[in-house]
Amino acid sequence: MTALSKDEYLATFVEPMRSLGAEESYKPVQIGEYVAGCIREFNPPVTRDQLQIQHIYLNGDKSFYHVLINYGPQNCFLVIVVDCNREAVHGHYLLDLNTEYGLDENGRPRKTATTDN
């Protein structure tokens, strides 16, 4: 298993990123065993059976796709990055959109302290 750094993860993006529909697939790769290994490694607050694929995004040059799996908290994903040319898992990244965008546990912008003048 390969944990990707943020830079390595971002390097797999090529615009436009396109969401694949429920009936679409592109060079499908079995990820179940890889996901099981990730779960053993970072021990999310849910069981493997509770994990849900939320989105699959194919990058613009069709070299990588990202499988976003919610692992419990809202807006927190185990992202499995698949290398389409090798037809194999490239690695994974733990994406926390709450931290990335300053959101609270309900997905709304965090309130910041302000001073009255």
CA distance 59 to 10: 11
Average pLDDT rounded to a whole number, residues 57-83: 94
Residue carrying the six token digits 């040319």: 85
CA distance 101 to 117: 27
Look at residue 74 and tell me whether its pLDDT is greater than 50: yes
Per residue in 91-116, pLDDT (tens digit) is 999 999 888 888 877 777 777 655 44
pLDDT recorded at residue 115: 42
Residue 88 pairs in a beta bridge with 83
CA distance 97 to 104: 10
- Domains of the chain: residue spans and CATH: 6-101 (3.10.450)
